[in-house]
Amino acid sequence: MKKGIHPENYRLVVFKDMSNGEMFLTKSTAPTKETIKYEDGKEYPLIKVEISNTSHPFYTGKMKLVDTAGRVDKYMSKYKKHVDKKK
């Protein structure tokens, strides 16, 4: 393995799944300006994620549509005439 290609500034960070509120603590170098008080009472940097292993259908076995950016609505409005022809 090459030396000097991996970051040196790993720190403990809380990742929060915004679809279900689950949080987990791990090491990361990802930049963030937000902080949160974790279960152990200490304050850590916070990184918000839209989906994680606690909400992803592959891991949970439940099919659930997560549409945080209105992607389905954008698609339906863009291709409305094509969708109406099929009905």
Residue 36 inside a domain? The answer is yes
Q: Report how far residue 9's alpha carbon sits from residue 35's, in angstroms, rounded to the nearest whole number.
A: 17
Residue 2 inside a domain? The answer is no
Query: What pLDDT does residue 47 have?
Result: 94
Residue 45 inside a domain? The answer is yes
Q: Is 7 a residue whose pLDDT tops 80?
A: yes
- Number of structural domains the chain divides into: 1
19-61 tens-digit pLDDT:
888 999 999 999 999 999 999 999 999 999 888 877 766 666 7
Residue 4 inside a domain? The answer is no
Residue 3 inside a domain? The answer is no
Query: What pLDDT does residue 50 have?
Result: 84
Kindly state the average pLDDT of the residues 2-10. 88
Residue 29 inside a domain? The answer is yes
- For 38, the domain range is 11-86
Query: What pLDDT does residue 76 have?
Result: 72
List strand residue ranges (DSSP E) for 1-87, in order: 11-17, 23-28, 35-37, 43-49
Q: Is 12 a residue whose pLDDT tops 70?
A: yes
Q: What is the mean pLDDT of the chain?
A: 82
Q: What is the dihedral of CA 23, 15, 12, 38, to 10 degrees?
A: -40
Q: Is 73 a residue whose pLDDT tops 80?
A: no
Q: Report how far residue 25's alpha carbon sits from residue 2's, in angstroms, rounded to the nearest whole number.
A: 28
